[in-house]
Amino acid sequence: MKKVERINIIMRYINNRSHFTISEIMQEFSISRSTAARDIREIEAMGMPLVAEVGRDGGYFVMRNSVLPDVRFTDNEVKALFIAFMATRNQQLPFLKSRQSLAEKLLGLISENQQDDLVLLNQILLFEGTNPNNPDLLDLTDLPHPILEKLIQILLLDRCILITIQEEEGIESYPIYLLHLYREKSLWLIEGFDLKEEKKRIYHVDNLIDIKPYPTKKRVSKKKILEKLSKQEEVTNLVLELGPKAIAQFKKYHPLKVSIAYTNPYQATAVLKTFINVGNSEEVAEMTNWMLFLGEDIQIREVPEEVLEGLQERLCLFCPK
C-alpha cells in the first residue's frame, strides 16, 4: 500500500473513533511503531486536530467541532469513483438527479492529469445499458419512478408504512412492515410483511400511488413480526447440485433470494436449495427459464412437478419432429 493511500485510510480510521492508540494503528495497518508514529505526525501536520493523552493507557483522540483537512483522493480512488458513476448509468437508481453535481464536485477536486485519465476512460469503457453513441458521464436518462425517492426518505424514518397501489381491480391500500427494497430485472420491488394478513408479500414500486407512515397504535412490534415470519418459513422444494460451469452461470445472474453453498474448498461444486411457489405461474416460469440458463452442468435432486413439466415442455421445443 502506498504511503498517500495508507495515510488517507488512517485518517478515516481515526476520524471514526473517539480514541485510538499507536498499538491499534500498528495492528490495524500492519506497520511498525516508527511508521505509525511518523504517519500520525504527518496527519497532525495536515491539520487534523489530534490531542495526545499521557499515561499508561494513553493514546490520542480527535478534537471535535474543528475544521478537518481537505479530503485527498488517490489516483485509483478517483478512477474507482468515476467508473462507479459510469457503471450505474441507466440503472433506474434513486437520487440520480444528484449525479451531475457529484460529478462536477469530483472533477473539481482532482488534477488536470487525473481529469485527462477520466476523459480517456469515458471514451473506452462501455457498460450494459450505455448508449455507445453518447457515452456522456452527465447524461441523465432512464430515471426511476418518482415515488421511489419519497419511499426511501420515509423508510429512513419509519419502516411501518401504509402504501396505496394501483391494481387491476382498482386502488388498494396495504399496511406493511418493510423487510427489503430491492431491484431485480430493472424493476424496483418491495418485500413487506402485510400487517393485516400477517404474511410476506411483494409489491411493485411502479404501481405505487402514495406512501405514508402507518399509525403507531395499529402497529405490531418488529420482534413479533420476525417471530411470525420464522413460523411461516417455506419448506425447500428445489435442490440442485452445481458444477463449475453452472456456478459461473449462477454468478452472471441469479434471483435475488437464491443462494448457493460451496461443497468443496476450491468452490468448484455447490448445492442450491430454495422454495418455489408453485401456485404462482409467473414464478414457476421464471425459475424454469433460469434453470435452463444454468445449463447442463447441474444435477436435479428435488424439483416440483410443475417446474419439471415446464422444463420438459421447453426442451421438447428443440426436439426434431
Count of domains observed in the chain: 4
Residue that is last in its domain, among 34, 62, 90: 62
For residues 13 and 36, membership in a common domain is answered with yes
- In terms of Cβ atoms closer than 10 Å to its own Cβ (0-12, 13-18, 19+), residue 73 is middle
Angstrom distance (rounded) from CA 131 to CA 203? 30
For residues 48 and 79, membership in a common domain is answered with no
Give the pLDDT band (50/70/90) at residue 42.
confident
**Residues 190 and 205 sit within 8 Å (Cβ to Cβ):** yes
**pLDDT at 202 exceeding the cut of 80:** yes
C-beta atoms surrounding 255 within 10 Å? 13
- Mean pLDDT over residues 16-21, rounded? 81
| Average pLDDT value over all residues in the chain | 83
Angstrom distance (rounded) from CA 39 to CA 165? 56
For residues 180 and 195, membership in a common domain is answered with yes
Q: What's the pLDDT score for residue 318?
A: 63
Going by the DSSP 8-state scheme, the letter that residue 278 receives in this structure is T
* Cell numbers representing residue 137 in the block: 458521464
Q: Does residue 222 belong to any structural domain of this protein?
A: yes
- In terms of Cβ atoms closer than 10 Å to its own Cβ (0-12, 13-18, 19+), residue 93 is middle
Give the pLDDT band (50/70/90) at residue 6.
confident
Angstrom distance (rounded) from CA 4 to CA 77? 11
For residues 227 and 181, membership in a common domain is answered with yes
Q: Which domain holds residue 256?
A: 238-316
Task: Using a pLDDT cut of 90, give the percent of the chain over it.
Answer: 27
**CATH code of the domain in which 183 resides:** 2.30.30
Largest CA distance in the chain: 88
For residues 289 and 243, membership in a common domain is answered with yes
For residues 252 and 222, membership in a common domain is answered with no
Q: Does residue 197 belong to any structural domain of this protein?
A: yes
Q: Does residue 131 belong to any structural domain of this protein?
A: no
* pTM of structure: 0.63
pLDDT in tens, 248-289: 999 998 888 788 999 988 899 999 999 988 888 888 998 999
For residues 195 and 260, membership in a common domain is answered with no
> Among 37, 34, 43, 32, which Cα is nearest to 7's?
43
Residue 28's identity, in one-letter code, is E
Angstrom distance (rounded) from CA 57 to CA 55? 5
Angstrom distance (rounded) from CA 151 to CA 268? 41
pLDDT in tens, 220-259: 888 888 888 887 777 889 999 999 999 999 999 888 878 8
Residue that is last in its domain, among 37, 62, 87: 62
For residues 20 and 92, membership in a common domain is answered with no
